[in-house]
């Protein structure tokens, strides 16, 4: 079984508006509410690929209920731990550019954390664990390291700087920083493919088995110890990139789960990310299939 862990889920409130003027009344056009948070998005896109997973993490209050109901409607298994405070609501403003405001998240007690660790202890070597997203500010920063060390099966991680670095010695199958996150880790601007590749290889030296670097509209790189694939994406109308990175992670896992080659899995990963960027919500299987043949891979 694939388990996704979202320690800090969110309801994503997507607001489309023509203009945003700070300090003034703005009227929204279309608005959407989606169950979000990185692991939850991975579970949702895995489902579109026909791959089952169970979503774990903490949910609370009415946004927590919304998330549980949304996942139940999508026929996705969940085993969330209830917390007293509300799950966060993250604001995604879609004007001429995309602006995001991600909230810190609810308090999680030591007892609730222990309950989650108990769930991780029950995993088997055949299971895959996807650890993704930020942690609520009340949680100890070593939680990712703890979970990673307990994980008996395959591990996939998508998180920022210190959380990501803390799991490398548990040898994740792959990690997925975006370019900005890689720049933050190495504290420098990365201009060329070679520079990105070198940084990815450094993370491999530190323990990651593979590194997938997503580059937004520039596509993505898949870096292993012995090869580097670069994917180029088609141009299209970008509607909402929220969840694109999570869709990329899900596509890769779905490809591996379906027994596809590394190359085909990476293609599916990038198609999943791109198809999500081109739609309001996360991409459907049909939308992913529509862009798949337009993803161009080269060995660099």
Ligand X SMILES: O=P(O)(O)OC[C@H]1O[C@](O)(COP(=O)(O)O)[C@@H](O)[C@@H]1O
Ligand Y SMILES: Nc1ncnc2c1ncn2[C@@H]1O[C@H](COP(=O)(O)OP(=O)(O)O)[C@@H](O)[C@H]1O
Q: Which residues bind ligand X (CB under 6 A)?
A: 8, 10, 12, 36-38, 41, 90, 102, 133-134, 242-246
Which one of ligand Y, ligand X, none interacts with residue 36, CB within 5 to 8 A by kind?
A: ligand X
Q: Which residues bind ligand Y (CB under 6 A)?
A: 178, 214-217, 219-220, 233, 238, 241, 244-245, 248, 270, 273-274, 277
Nearer to ligand Y among residue 85 and residue 195 (C-beta): 195
| Whole-angstrom distance, CA of residue 152 vs CA of residue 3 | 12
Which one of ligand X, ligand Y, none interacts with residue 39, CB within 5 to 8 A by kind?
A: none
Give catalytic status of residue 246 as yes or no: yes
Here the tokens at position 235 are 């141009």
User: What distances in angstroms separate CA 66 from CA 10, 71, 76, 215, one per listed residue?
Assistant: 10, 9, 14, 31
β-pairing verdict for 154-158 and 174-175: parallel
β-pairing verdict for 220-223 and 211-214: antiparallel
Give the residue closest to ligand X by C-beta. 36
| Whole-angstrom distance, CA of residue 103 vs CA of residue 215 | 24
Which one of ligand X, ligand Y, none interacts with residue 12, CB within 5 to 8 A by kind?
A: ligand X
The set of residues, in sequence order, having a beta carbon less than 8 Å from that of 198 and lying 6+ positions away, is none
Which one of ligand Y, ligand X, none interacts with residue 214, CB within 5 to 8 A by kind?
A: ligand Y
Task: Look at residues 106, 94, 85, 122 and name the one whose alpha carbon lies nearest to residue 37.
Answer: 106
Nearer to ligand Y among residue 116 and residue 277 (C-beta): 277
Which one of ligand Y, ligand X, none interacts with residue 277, CB within 5 to 8 A by kind?
A: ligand Y
DSSP 8-state symbol, 178: B
The set of residues, in sequence order, having a beta carbon less than 8 Å from that of 18 and lying 6+ positions away, is 29, 95
Number of residues that this document lists for the chain? 300
Smallest distance, ligand X to C-beta of residue 257, A: 19
Smallest distance, ligand X to C-beta of residue 296, A: 22
Instruction: Say if residues 108 and 58 touch (Cβ distance below 8 Å).
Output: yes
Smallest distance, ligand Y to C-beta of residue 164, A: 12
- Residue entry with tokens 């379906």: 258
Which one of ligand X, ligand Y, none interacts with residue 8, CB within 5 to 8 A by kind?
A: ligand X
Nearer to ligand Y among residue 120 and residue 175 (C-beta): 175
55: how many CB neighbours lie within 10 A of its CB?
30
Smallest distance, ligand X to C-beta of residue 104, A: 9
- Residue in 18, 75, 162, 246 annotated catalytic: 246
Give just the sign of the alpha carbon dihedral 74, 57, 101, 291: negative
Smallest distance, ligand Y to C-beta of residue 63, A: 21
Nearer to ligand Y among residue 60 and residue 133 (C-beta): 133
- Helix (H) / strand (E) element for 140: namely none
Smallest distance, ligand Y to C-beta of residue 173, A: 18
Nearer to ligand Y among residue 120 and residue 200 (C-beta): 200
The set of residues, in sequence order, having a beta carbon less than 8 Å from that of 215 and lying 6+ positions away, is 178, 179, 196, 221
Nearer to ligand X among residue 88 and residue 230 (C-beta): 88
Residues annotated as catalytic are 246
């Amino acid at each position: 079984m694939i388990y996704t862990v979202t320690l800090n889920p969110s309801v994503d409130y997507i607001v489309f508006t023509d203009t945003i003027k700070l300090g003034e009344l703005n009227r929204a056009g279309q608005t959407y509410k989606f169950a979000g948070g990185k692991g939850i998005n991975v579970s949702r896109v895995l489902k579109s690929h026909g791959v089952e997973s169970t979503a774990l993490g903490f949910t609370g209050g009415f946004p927590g209920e919304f998330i549980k109901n949304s996942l139940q409607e999508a026929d996705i298994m969940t085993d969330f731990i209830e917390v007293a405070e509300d799950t966060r609501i993250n604001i995604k403003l879609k004007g001429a550019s995309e602006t995001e405001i991600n909230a810190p998240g609810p308090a999680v007690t030591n007892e609730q954390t222990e309950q989650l660790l108990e769930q991780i202890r029950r995993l088997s070597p055949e299971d895959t664990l996807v650890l993704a997203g930020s942690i609520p500010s009340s949680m100890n920063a070593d939680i990712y390291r703890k979970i990673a060390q307990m994980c008996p099966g395959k591990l996939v991680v998508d998180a920022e700087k210190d959380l990501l670095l803390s799991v490398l010695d548990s040898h994740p199958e792959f990690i997925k920083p975006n370019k900005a996150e890689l720049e933050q880790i190495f504290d420098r601007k990365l201009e060329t493919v070679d520079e990105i590749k070198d940084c990815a290889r450094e993370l491999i030296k530190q323990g990651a088995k593979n590194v997938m670097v997503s580059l937004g509209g520039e596509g993505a790189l898949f870096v292993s110890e012995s090869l580097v694939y670069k994917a180029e994406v088609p141009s299209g109308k970008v509607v909402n990139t929220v969840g694109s990175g999570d869709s990329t992670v899900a596509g890769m896992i779905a490809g591996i789960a379906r027994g596809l080659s590394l190359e085909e899995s990476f293609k599916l990963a990038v198609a999943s990310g791109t198809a999500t960027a081109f739609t309001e919500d996360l991409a459907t299987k049909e939308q992913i299939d529509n862009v798949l043949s337009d993803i161009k891979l080269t060995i660099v």
